[in-house]
A and B are shown apart, each in its own frame.
Chain A
């Protein structure tokens, strides 16, 4: 059974639409979600979390449809949509003390561990954190309740190379513990390091959802890195569009 199954997801906006987005995630795998800015990564992530209301399609987590099971499903997943952009003047420990009451599986030990790992001071407020630290703060909350699936929107954006490296190592560690990770990024080197699977989206449509190796075989040219493949494909698509 897939941990997450997205089938024929649709979302229509006046000038953009997600069309027939389908993919699935398995336990203990890291899946990178790539595409250029505006391709539909954040809309897809928000749709599968019901933050954006999808126009159609089916979303099931752990075999349960999202509609009607939001509470139970969200207890088992962790997600972060970018940086901490809420309660800028509240201390992190105040936010944590409220958040933890909602999780039956809140793990104080994990919370302390990641607090330490990310070098976050819980007496600071989000407004006192740099952009990179705000990303880490959101990750801290997402990681502190033993989630079986982590859905992260651009978790490495704004992080310095050292922190990015630490984070991809952390992903690998969590994967070994059986956690599935789905994260969007436009920094392809992060995927080279840790991803097992890649979901590639362009103009609201999934171009390919496959293993990293399968992605290289089907879309790459001999000797090309992932980044070079992506750049070539996007250039080709742009040229086709202007013809």
Chain B
């Protein structure tokens, strides 16, 4: 599978997938819905699916000595690689905000979501939805990606709205805590996000393999 990941990076990947990783830095922007950083990272991955189609990467991959399911796994590996890089950067930036900038006026006066473990949990949820809805949808045809991307955008934006509003509900203010105060509810959200990410990704891979196997190319 390492070879498939290398093939993705060397041939199929759009440079924009890497450039859009810079959106992880939105984690630092006060008064901004920082979850959009995760969305922009997936938008960068979307461009690689565009180059996949433009360059008939699937046609090329079919000539390689790999099973059809390995082509699907290769795409997911690349997606997870970029998501992993983005998540790592956002985790580092979040920890910087939590450890060193929790008292900064720009952040304490922030009406929107704080960078904390709740934020990271929702980042994973957005990634999971991308892996299930967009990547899984792409492999219905291995060609059409407009509809899956629209569905993903709608779902991702609903998650952003939910995440941004959640801490305004009575009793849930702790989810938006600064620094390391009220960390337990935040860790619960992070754990839930990680679980949903794993479940959605595994389901996406399973669906994609099944769908791609049946496609006539």
Q: Which residues of A contact B11 (CB under 8 A)?
A: 87, 90, 94-95, 98
Per-residue CB contact flags for chain B residues 86-115 toward chain A (1 = under 8 Å, else 0) read 000000000000000000000000000000
- Determine if A86 and B57 form an interchain contact, defined as CB atoms under 8 angstroms apart: yes
Which residues on the B side are within 8 Å of A142 (C-beta)?
63
Q: B6–A87 contact, CB under 8 A?
A: no
Residues of B within 8 Å of A88, CB to CB, are: 55
Contact of B216 with A46 in the complex, beta carbons under 8 Å = yes
Chain A residues within 8 Å of B216, by CB? 46, 51-53
Number of interface residues of B (CB under 8 A): 23
The residue in chain B whose Cβ has the minimal distance to the Cβ of A101 is B3
Cβ-based interface call for B213 (8 A): yes
Q: Tell whether, in the assembled complex, residue B66 and residue A70 are in contact, meaning their CB atoms are under 8 Å apart.
A: yes
Number of contacts between A and B (CB, 8 Å)?
Answer: 66
Q: How far is the CB of B146 from chain A (nearest CB, A)?
A: 22
Contact B70 A71 (CB under 8 A): yes
| A interface residue count range (under 10 / 10 to 19 / 20 to 34 / 35 or more) | 20 to 34
Complex: A141 Cα to B3 Cα, angstroms: 17
**A74 lies within 8 A of B64 (CB):** yes
User: Scoring A residues 77 to 100 as 1 if CB is less than 8 Å from chain B, else 0, what string do you get?
Assistant: 001110001111110001101110
A162 within 8 A of partner (CB): no
Whole-angstrom distance between the Cβ of A161 and the nearest chain B Cβ: 27
**Is residue B29 within 8 Å, beta carbon to beta carbon, of the partner chain?**
no
Q: Are A87 and B65 in contact (CB under 8 A)?
A: no
Per the bound structure, the CA–CA distance linking A98 and B8 in Å amounts to: 10
Q: Is the CB of B64 within 8 A of A87?
A: no
| Complexed CA–CA distance, A208 and B185 (Å) | 73
Give the complex CA separation of A50 and B6 in angstroms.
24
Kindly identify, within residues 47 to 93 of chain B, every residue whose CB is under 8 Å from any CB belonging to chain A.
Answer: 55-57, 59-60, 62-68, 70
Contact of A103 with B by CB under 8 A? yes
Residues of chain B within 8 A (CB-CB) of A85 are 56, 59
Q: With A and B bound together, what is the CA distance between A208 and B52 in angstroms?
A: 40
In the complex formed, the residue of A with least CB distance to B57 is A86
Q: Shortest Cβ distance from A75 into chain B, in angstroms? A: 5
What is the chain A residue whose CB lies nearest that of B11?
A98
User: Do A87 and B57 touch across chains, with their CB atoms under 8 A apart?
Assistant: yes
Q: Does B217 contact A (CB under 8 A)?
A: yes
CA gap between A81 and B66 in the complex, in Å: 16
Given contacts A70-B68, A71-B65, whether A53 and B215 have CB atoms under 8 Å apart is yes
Extra pairs beyond A71-B66, A86-B60 (17, CB < 8 Å): A49-B62, A50-B68, A51-B216, A53-B214, A53-B215, A74-B65, A81-B63, A86-B56, A86-B59, A87-B56, A87-B57, A90-B11, A95-B60, A98-B7, A99-B63, A102-B66, A103-B65
User: Would you mind naming 7 contact pairs between A and B with Cβ atoms under 8 Å apart?
Assistant: A49-B62, A53-B214, A86-B56, A95-B60, A101-B3, A101-B7, A102-B65
